[in-house]
Amino acid sequence: MKRLVGGRATGILVHTDQPINFLGMINKDTGVIQDASHDLYKRSLRDTILAFPHGIGSSVGAYTIHSLKINNVAPSAMLCGRPDLTVVTGCAVANIPLAILDVSEMKLQNNSKITVDVDAGTITRD
C-alpha cells in the first residue's frame, strides 16, 4: 500500500472491478451510484471503504468527491489501483484517506467491515 492522502478510516468494503466516473456516475447529494451500467448501481458509498481500479472522466470529478464529503455521503477512504489526478485531488481537498493498492491482492471479502490506516500501511478486518 502506498499512501497518497493520509488518515485512518473504518467502513464496509465496497469493491468493484469497474472504473468510476465521479462526475457522471455518482449522485453528489446522496452518494448513490446512479449509472445503471455500473455493477455498483444503486449502491450508496456513504461511510464505505471504496476499492476500485481507477477513475475515469472529467477533472471536475474532484469537485464531486469534495461535494460528497460536504454532503456527508462520501466514502470513508478509497483504495485505488491506478489513481488519477482527479481522484487524488478530490481526496486531498476532501481529506479522504487514499492509498494505491492492487485490490486483487486483498484477502478480504466484499462487504467486510475493515479499518484502513493509510499512514501505517495496514488494513485490518473488524
Residue type, 91: C
Active site amino acids: 58
CB 63 within 8 A of CB 21: no
DSSP helix/strand/coil, 4: strand
pLDDT (tens digit, 9 = 90+) per residue, 89-115?
Answer: 999 999 999 999 876 666 678 899 999
pLDDT (tens digit, 9 = 90+) per residue, 62-79?
Answer: 999 999 999 999 999 999
The burial of 16, by beta-carbon neighbours within 10 Å (0-12 exposed, 13-18 middle, 19 or more buried), is given as middle
* 10 closest CA partner among 42, 57, 48: 48
| pLDDT the model gives residue 109 | 81
Q: Which range of residues forms the domain containing residue 35? A: 2-125
Query: How many helices and strands, by DSSP H and E, does the chain display?
Result: 2, 7
Q: How many whole angstroms separate alpha carbon 73 and alpha carbon 57?
A: 21
**What's the CATH number where 21 sits?**
3.50.30.10
The number of domains in the chain is 1
Q: What's the pTM? A: 0.94
| pLDDT the model gives residue 112 | 92
pLDDT (tens digit, 9 = 90+) per residue, 2-27?
Answer: 999 999 999 999 999 999 999 989 99
Per DSSP, what are the bridge partners of residue 49?
Answer: 13, 77
| pLDDT the model gives residue 126 | 86
| pLDDT the model gives residue 23 | 93
pLDDT (tens digit, 9 = 90+) per residue, 29-55?
Answer: 999 999 999 999 999 999 999 999 999
